[in-house]
Amino acid sequence: MITLLLLLGNPNVGKSTIFNSLTGLHQHTGNWPGKTISNAAGTAKFKGKDFLFVDIPGTYSIMSNSQEEEIARDYICFGNPDCTVVVVDSTCLERNLNLVYQILEITNKVVLCVNLLDEAKKKGIEIDLDKLSFKLGIPVVGTIARKKKTLNNLMNSIYDVCSSAISDDYLHIDYPDTINSAINIIEDSVKVCFNNHYFKNYRWIALKLLEGNDKIISSIENNLNITFSRK
């Protein structure tokens, strides 16, 4: 059985370099269905397990302002990946973490890859990876794409996430009480609509319904074969 992994990150964080290093020559390219944007997928074997990596187009957000963001969101939300690897640039970590927070609203099967540590060192930037992992509640691995040891550490964390039970002790976005109350009310109704459905992130759907973004709501309807009332 092959394990599905998504590689996600802002543009120019070294994501494709990591993808190429992990998959080598075992990859192919094509276009996303109905899109002119190319995709890349590749395989790798680690500890006897077969992994399929999908290199998601670089995106700053999954709020669907572009085709790239729409592809990223739909694949993460509805592609049912075994793990999502978010690659960030260690020299501008704060800006990159916005995407990490968005992914954690969708899934906790996440590994954070803090890349370009050599560039950070040149700029005098030090990152406490253990503290960052504690704060986010997910595995955090520092990498330098050309150093095989750091990529082995990344694969070890990916393997652990895909092979073990995932803790619920990860960062939950804290909203004001009025918003949380509204989310809880909508979430109860969503649970009824999605009874026995494979997609169980009711809170995320409730949040998107509350935001009222028609494009995202339409995407949820199309991918999960359900219709919400627009009254």
Chain segment 23-51, per-residue pLDDT in tens: 987 778 766 666 666 778 999 999 999 99
Q: What angle do CA 107, 110, 111 make, to 5 degrees?
A: 170
Whole-angstrom distance, CA of residue 34 vs CA of residue 109? 28
pLDDT value of position 147: 86
88 found inside a domain: yes
| CATH (domain of 146) | 3.40.50.300
Do 159 and 194 belong to one domain?
Answer: no
Do 101 and 207 belong to one domain?
Answer: no
Q: Which parts of the chain have pLDDT scores under 70?
A: 30-37, 64, 165-166, 168, 195-198, 229-231
What is the Rg, in whole angstroms, of the alpha carbon atoms belonging to the chain? 18
Whole-angstrom distance, CA of residue 80 vs CA of residue 5? 10
pLDDT value of position 45: 94
Do 114 and 192 belong to one domain?
Answer: no
Q: Give the CA count within 13 Å in the CB-facing half-sphere of 89.
A: 15
| Closest of 55, 139, 102 to residue 213, by C-alpha | 102
229 found inside a domain: no
Do 196 and 123 belong to one domain?
Answer: no
Which domain does 122 fall in, by range?
2-163
pLDDT value of position 196: 60
135 found inside a domain: yes
Do 157 and 201 belong to one domain?
Answer: no
The count of structural domains within the chain is 2
**Does pTM top 0.75 for this prediction?**
yes
35 found inside a domain: yes
pLDDT value of position 40: 87
Task: Write the pLDDT tens digit of every residue in 147-176.
Answer: 889 999 999 999 999 988 667 677 778 889
pLDDT value of position 77: 82
